[in-house]
Structure 1
């Protein structure tokens, strides 16, 4: 299986399957493409083909659990390709994945949803019993900066939950029978969907249980509890929480309310597209939508493509959580073997079956953006409206900015869906640090050295090229660890007493985990032992010994 990567590649870490690495042979080719700009110039995209080993993913039969919450072995184990997020990377702004329009073909083996009239279901949706029609606001500062007209669909203003996910939960739950409502509902969520289910249950007088990953931000967990739902923390990912919720639904007769993969869920979210078409009285070029499991973009596309087929529907995903882009690229649903959790609202290992079918038929492509670009967009929103979005909530703005710059768009109307404002306060420091980086047009570097206090020495330094500095037998190794109690101590204990530690530095990255930089005295004959031990820790890691800038800073 080959993976296609365009231009940009994240820093490689051991424990992942990076596109570009000193340990991997690659071959390069150049693709000419017509840039979609007013000048229609040809530009070159450098792509790298790497041989990626495709693994078959089996659902875990037992999962790490919180307290006494356990997940039984499922009776049916689906198999999906397991693919690294790094296997599909292209320049931000470029529509790297343009789906094939296969309206007559369905890969949905569990349900027959092909005959659903989504336009009718959206028009008859019951979401307005509890949700409101959110405003479509003009972003004057961003529009002036980019020379386009950017409109913000303010789903972060939904009452009670500050997210569009209230629409989908209520639309499905309001259609349940009295008997189903009596037995209660259950869902799995990293936050916003849970709040939507909890508020909908409160409105309908239904008992609700919410399974949440142990990495869920506290602000979302506390909100769900305040709305009256029972919270169960289980597993470290959405997939693990979903496994538990589905099993408990069968055991207790509860109705499982999925986060995205159901016609009623999709139709509820499609009302966002209906409102955009009704609110914007001008030609519309594109709507940018954040993508997690695909429910929001599938619903918006189902409505907008029915009434305004010329409007582009473009998904936006982070580089490290690109399950929809990879699924569209491979022509089938895949599961990410690892993914980033910075934008936890869209951190989904695999997209839905029905959402994938609709996206493959209806959307126009997927934009990929970096964490820096997301943080810059959070700052843009604050400057524009004095509102603070969560990372997933600012995703569409980042995608819209990248697309407009890349394609040289001018004077067009584009809409970005601001999908949520449930920001964890502790993450604001990291967002502030990365926001300025994301706004830089050119990379910024900091140089450090020690120069004798003599005029001629300073003059010599102006033309000096610094050779690599190193200390004999010392290695620098960077680890990326999850944000869980005990993980840092486990890392320290693993190396304690085996090698002398000259350096230790830790910087937390919020829910994304933390970076640990360690300097250890390891002789060459012990390197295999060091790598074997590092591999057992389950953390991504990379050697920084040859990092010249870091060596200068430290020594």
Structure 2
């Protein structure tokens, strides 16, 4: 299905958004521009009243409803930004709005929707389940379902971001980096940009664990992701829209995926430039630009980055700070093994030189050796290599764990060690929806045949919880254990053979 981008541009020009949305600044960030070697502009959609660009699509969609539709009311599904946009727009036009939100939605976001006049209903563990419930309600009640991204009026509303960019820009725009989930923002921005400036590159920025557009491009059609990483929850959808995908095929020049650590580093960049803490999704586009600069793919001229939103839970900020230095390449995490003898520890410290230590954990292993988990401040990837070379020169066996998820999420926050038994032990990492009772459900569903020898859980204020769990296998019945774990219904990954596990657990 193909769409005339010039027709969509006309819809964008006619979009009715400004009774509710603001014209947000296009802000040059000098320090970051000097660092990255090109002019970087931030399109500050975090400055909307609902702290997100989503008000634009909701406002335009609601403005186009007829009188009968307005009497019927509207419904939507969202974990945050779209919900607030629909609630605010519905209140403005005097329309009843019912928002279906996952049970995992933080209370602060539910309260924000209700404060704007929307009614809420908590259903399911994720967006997809909430969306199914909203569509079912729409079919039964006659309420109009307001899709978060896959409708022309919504896309046209989001496309007004691009209209403002080209009205505000004083120089030629070489590229626009756009955070991408369902595709409403990138298809709207891309369609407008290509109609007025065909040479401007449109880059879709996606989290590595929720790359719906990249998956669709590879398959030649929208496909469901097997697993969605909810870290950047504002763009964490399972499947890109049918309409938005068709538009993206015409207007997107490239897809760039970024890690959660890179996203956290970009959150820090935006804070240092604006003194605003944005949500992870709000920093995905800047993370992608950083990635392109590092890979030599970014244009040399003026690059615009969409800062899509700032609806972040306070209890997530610490976790983002923790991961930012790793994402920026300014911290490394490594494991080291030293002999359990006099002078070994001093030689290890001397090998580190005058580098700043950010983390240091020691675990007695046996009379022969000890294991260390160490974090260091560094300035570049080259310095990381130098650290490893210095340790090797000092005959210290070291393993770089900077990109090891197990080490970053669990090991640096716990103390391990080999169990004092000859019984076989296996370790698994489990992800479950962070809703009331989910951790208890996981624990109660475990078969009592296996003794739990290790357990570590941290709550980051995200939609998913993460557990590291060790089990003893008295009968070496690993297959039966895995059947029991899979029956719980949560994603599970074995970590027994992870090198970090071998060092510390």
| Structures share fold, TM-score greater than 0.5 | yes
**Matched residue of 1:485: which SS?**
coil
Flag the 1:478–1:238 CA change in 2: closer, same or farther, 3 A: closer
User: 5 Å matches for 1:287-436?
Assistant: 287-407=176-296, 409=298, 411-436=300-325
Structure 2: give runs of 5+ residues left out of the alignment: 349-367, 370-393, 400-416
| Higher mean C-alpha displacement, 519-528 vs 394-403 | 519-528
Q: Which residue of 2 aligns with 1:202?
A: 91
Q: Which residue of 1 aligns with 2:489?
A: 538
User: 5 Å matches for 1:41-56?
Assistant: none
C-alpha distance in 2 between matches for 1:229 and 1:149: 41
Matched, 1:463 2:395: yes
Matched, 1:122 2:12: yes
Deviation of 1:385 (Å) = 0.7
Cα deviation 1:280-311 (Å, max 9, x = unaligned): 11121100001111111111111110010000
Matched, 1:252 2:252: no
Deviation of 1:444 (Å) = 2.9
| Higher mean C-alpha displacement, 197-206 vs 463-472 | 463-472
C-alpha distance in 2 between matches for 1:312 and 1:142: 20
Flag the 1:258–1:491 CA change in 2: closer, same or farther, 3 A: closer
**2:458 aligns with one of 507, 530, 534:** 507
C-alpha distance in 2 between matches for 1:455 and 1:262: 65
Q: Which residue of 2 aligns with 1:98?
A: none
CA contact (8 A) 1:146 1:404 kept: yes
| Higher mean C-alpha displacement, 228-237 vs 470-479 | 470-479
CA contact (8 A) 1:289 1:296 kept: yes
Cα deviation 1:349-381 (Å, max 9, x = unaligned): 112121111111111121101110111111111
- The structure that is helix-richer by fraction is 2
**Matched residue of 2:18: which SS?**
helix
CA contact (8 A) 1:378 1:389 kept: yes
User: What is the number of equivalent residue pairs in this alignment?
Assistant: 443
Q: Which residue of 1 aligns with 2:82?
A: 193
Cα deviation 1:29-56 (Å, max 9, x = unaligned): xxxxxxxxxxxxxxxxxxxxxxxxxxxx
CA contact (8 A) 1:313 1:363 kept: yes
User: 5 Å matches for 1:207-226?
Assistant: 207-226=96-115
Larger RCO (CA within 8 A; separation ≥ 6) = 1
Deviation of 1:454 (Å) = 5.3
CA contact (8 A) 2:158 2:184 kept: yes
C-alpha distance in 2 between matches for 1:375 and 1:464: 31
Deviation of 1:439 (Å) = 1.0
C-alpha distance in 2 between matches for 1:147 and 1:458: 40
Cα deviation 1:211-233 (Å, max 9, x = unaligned): 11222232221110001111011
**1:150 aligns with one of 27, 40, 43:** 40
Flag the 1:350–1:279 CA change in 2: closer, same or farther, 3 A: same
Cα deviation 1:319-351 (Å, max 9, x = unaligned): 111111111121111112321111111111112
Flag the 1:335–1:500 CA change in 2: closer, same or farther, 3 A: closer
C-alpha distance in 2 between matches for 1:466 and 1:429: 28
C-alpha distance in 2 between matches for 1:419 and 1:235: 26
C-alpha distance in 2 between matches for 1:318 and 1:456: 40
Deviation of 1:455 (Å) = 6.6
Q: Which residue of 1 aligns with 2:436?
A: 485
C-alpha distance in 1 between matches for 2:75 and 2:248: 26
Q: Which residue of 1 aligns with 2:132?
A: 243
Cα deviation 1:373-396 (Å, max 9, x = unaligned): 111111111111100100111111
Flag the 1:449–1:495 CA change in 2: closer, same or farther, 3 A: farther
C-alpha distance in 1 between matches for 2:329 and 2:396: 27
Flag the 1:524–1:478 CA change in 2: closer, same or farther, 3 A: farther
C-alpha distance in 2 between matches for 1:538 and 1:309: 47
CA contact (8 A) 2:175 2:299 kept: no
**1:529 aligns with one of 473, 480, 483:** 480
Matched, 1:518 2:407: no
Structure 1: give runs of 5+ residues left out of the alignment: 1-104, 107-112
**Matched residue of 2:462: which SS?**
helix
Cα deviation 1:388-422 (Å, max 9, x = unaligned): 10011111111111112212647411000000000
For normalisation by structure 1, the TM-score amounts to: 0.75
Flag the 1:518–1:176 CA change in 2: closer, same or farther, 3 A: closer
CA contact (8 A) 2:6 2:195 kept: no
For normalisation by structure 2, the TM-score amounts to: 0.82
| Higher mean C-alpha displacement, 502-511 vs 337-346 | 502-511
